[in-house]
Amino acid sequence: MSEWWTYRLSDFLLFSPRAYYRLVEIYNREIWPLQLPLFAIGCSLFALVRRRDLFAARLVAAMLAAAWLWVGIGFEWRQFAQINWFATYVAGGFVLQAALLIWIGVIKGRLSFGQVGRARTALGNGLILLGVIGYPILDLAFGRGVAGIGTFGSMPDPTVAATLGVLFLSSGKPRWILLLIPILSSLLSGAMLYAMQAPDWWVALVVAGMGVGAVFRRSTPASESHIR
């Protein structure tokens, strides 16, 4: 029996890259044209996070919760679990994130948007842009075709990126409990894509790193007055 340190990450991959990308294509065809309203919802995040009222903040939380719920059930549980048993547990994490967004952002109203620093604004908008537009462009650039595009609200990575972007733009220090699952999801995705030898494996890890930075950063004086 080989020693454990002789194994590569790809040795633990439960499916072939071809099977995964084929599954994504089938999934996209099955849910079409759901991607169109999901794209519109993703674009609306840019406008909603600029509003200061509680209704807009609750609407954003509800939209993100719906996206996480759909990805968890529609993709991870119904589709990905067919070739990867671990996706069942990932689906549970996505459903839990949806529940947290509903509880914290919609019911309790603790997600708010106010004035934040330039760095946070740039990072937040950049992550939303990555989730809504960047990931589809990357998929096309790496030859996955229109049928293989991952979009916000339909696939994990774009949904995670846009969610972290929204949390970067929220007033004060983002609540770590809302950051934990997106960070773990990005780490798992980066590891999976690396094992699949996908050229864009590093993107998910960069997103995870930015999420970790958000957990440990300190609130700036300009944002503290907008926490409550």
**11: pLDDT strictly greater than 70:** no
Based on the number of CB atoms within 10 Å of its own CB, is 107 exposed (0-12), middle (13-18) or buried (19 or more)?
A: exposed
For residue 174, name the pLDDT band (cuts at 50, 70, 90). Answer: low
Average pLDDT over residues 122-131: 95
Q: Is residue 11 in a domain?
A: no
Question: Within its chain, how far is the Cα of 77 from the centroid?
Answer: 16
The neighbour count for residue 96, using CB atoms within 10 Å, is 14
pLDDT at residue number 173? 58
Distance, CA of 72 to CA of 69 (rounded, Å)? 5
**39: pLDDT strictly greater than 70:** yes
Q: Considering the entire predicted model, what is its pTM? A: 0.88
On whether the CB atoms of residues 210 and 123 are closer than 8 A, the answer is: yes
113: helix, strand or coil: strand
Give the containing element (helix H, strand E) for 13: none
Q: Is residue 15 in a domain?
A: no
pLDDT at residue number 171? 81
**222: pLDDT strictly greater than 60:** no
Q: Is residue 54 in a domain?
A: yes
What's the one-letter identity of residue 118? R
The strand pairing partners of 113, in sequence order, are: 170
Residue 92 is part of which domain span?
Answer: 21-222
Q: How many domains does the chain have?
A: 1
Q: Is residue 106 in a domain?
A: yes
For residue 166, name the pLDDT band (cuts at 50, 70, 90). Answer: very high
* Average pLDDT of the chain, as a whole number: 88
Contacts with 73 (C-beta within 8 Å, 6 or more apart), sequence order? 91, 94, 95
**8: pLDDT strictly greater than 70:** no
Q: Is residue 7 in a domain?
A: no
Q: Is residue 190 in a domain?
A: yes
pLDDT at residue number 4? 43
> Model confidence over 13-31: pLDDT tens digits?
778 889 999 999 999 999 9
Contacts with 93 (C-beta within 8 Å, 6 or more apart), sequence order? 72, 181, 184, 185
**219: pLDDT strictly greater than 90:** no
